[in-house]
Structure 1
């Protein structure tokens, strides 16, 4: 009898993490559950994140050709089967030209959250430019992505940026901005019925700007590729939802 399939299933059952996507260098992030009755406003989400969660840095420069490191941090929690996520950015210029949902927001000043809920190599890439224009797709690789319907994105994901929602050409100087996100589990349309509480997942958090004055590509967990490439689930860290 060939025992290999049974061994693989055993590893997934015990750890909650697919064996092929575990790396000794992976960071481990525990996502706190925040109890809240009713629908939380953006201000409540922001205040609760500020008071009950820790700051995490997105500060790894993985490619020497792109040394610019804007200060980028985030807080994360979950509540009522929603992911609450807030980014804090300080950078020398900001760009916000993309206004179409599922447009090329990574060309602008952008933050990203790549999330593999089942730790099986299939992940969602949540991307937002600095005025909150979203992109969301799903699949196993960069070349195999399925965009989520833009109306579903607009109806389900809540976004608020301190830079507003109006597009603008690149502005240079010293800029500080924040963006708060509320992502319901229902947004994860390829994982119907998913419950966040107790979930052992894989994820990475990014800051980028392909067409900004100084192109940059920062990550939370290290990405060991020759060129900038965020679509590499084998380099996601571990995220445990308490």
Structure 2
């Protein structure tokens, strides 16, 4: 079982968000599978979700690859209810006391929040969310809940140091943090809540830093 996430460092300085998966392939960045369906008895559906992550000192790059039976995208404006859609999430704590949640639906609508727990989170202003570049294989448009079938899509994020708007992070080099990676879809035809690291709670809740695991940013470039 994975208990630690290593964020490899890339030597490339100029990486466009649309080329993230290609760069990962060229550099041999490995993909991880989200295998924990923490509330399987209530929500037995499991989409196939893989992600890869790297940084270059100034940006964290994430690429998600998703196969699922239905898709939904109703949130069209940043900081909307993206978790109700087909949504990939990255929660990360730089200090062990507070954490950031980067949540993005399948068409690239983003939510960024900060705080010590689920309640009273501070949402990032537009001047912060706009610094997080996104690319999706799907057209940016409203998508109603689809019929059951087979849907494959891909999402990339390019997250700068300044997106950690309550911290003064100069570089990701060598940072030791904690966090987790998720895929959800609260209002999909088959709701699901899968994660990289397991969560031992009686009902779905991703805002649970108690179950975060170690995230290590490498300082040696590939």
- Shorter-chain TM range is over 0.9
Give how far 1:48 is off. Answer: 1.4
Structure 2: stretches of 5+ with no match in the other structure:
none
Check if 1:100 corresponds to 2:77. Answer: yes
Given that 1:26 and 1:236 are in contact with CA atoms closer than 8 Å, whether structure 2 keeps it comes out as no
TM-score, scaled to structure 2: 0.93
Give how far 1:216 is off. Answer: 0.4
Query: 2: CA distance between counterparts of 1:42 and 1:79?
Result: 13
Deviations 1:131-166 (A, max 9, x none): 010000000010120000023211x10000001211
Query: 2: CA distance between counterparts of 1:81 and 1:96?
Result: 30
Picking from 49, 66, 87, the partner of 1:72 is 49
Structure 1: stretches of 5+ with no match in the other structure:
1-24
Query: 1: CA distance between counterparts of 2:181 and 2:105?
Result: 14
| Counterpart residue number, 1:193 | 169
| Counterpart residue number, 1:160 | 135
Check if 1:62 corresponds to 2:32. Answer: no
Given that 1:26 and 1:237 are in contact with CA atoms closer than 8 Å, whether structure 2 keeps it comes out as no
Answer with 1 or 2: which has the greater Rg.
1
User: How big is the alpha-carbon RMSD for the aligned residues of Structure 1 and Structure 2?
Assistant: 1.3
Give how far 1:29 is off. Answer: 1.3
Picking from 207, 215, 219, the partner of 1:239 is 215
| Counterpart residue number, 1:133 | 109
Given that 2:90 and 2:101 are in contact with CA atoms closer than 8 Å, whether structure 1 keeps it comes out as yes
Check if 1:169 corresponds to 2:169. Answer: no
**SS in structure 2 opposite 1:106?**
helix
Give how far 1:26 is off. Answer: 7.0
| Counterpart residue number, 1:204 | 180
Pick the structure with more helix per residue.
1
Picking from 117, 125, 129, the partner of 1:149 is 125
Give how far 1:36 is off. Answer: 1.0
Given that 1:36 and 1:80 are in contact with CA atoms closer than 8 Å, whether structure 2 keeps it comes out as no
Higher normalized contact order (CA 8 Å, seq sep 6+, divided by chain length): 2
Q: How many residues align?
A: 215
**SS in structure 2 opposite 1:170?**
coil
Query: 2: CA distance between counterparts of 1:42 and 1:198?
Result: 23
**SS in structure 1 opposite 2:92?**
strand
Q: Kindly tell me: are residues 130 and 43 of structure 1, through their superposed partners in 2, closer, same or farther at Cα, counting changes over 3 Å? A: closer
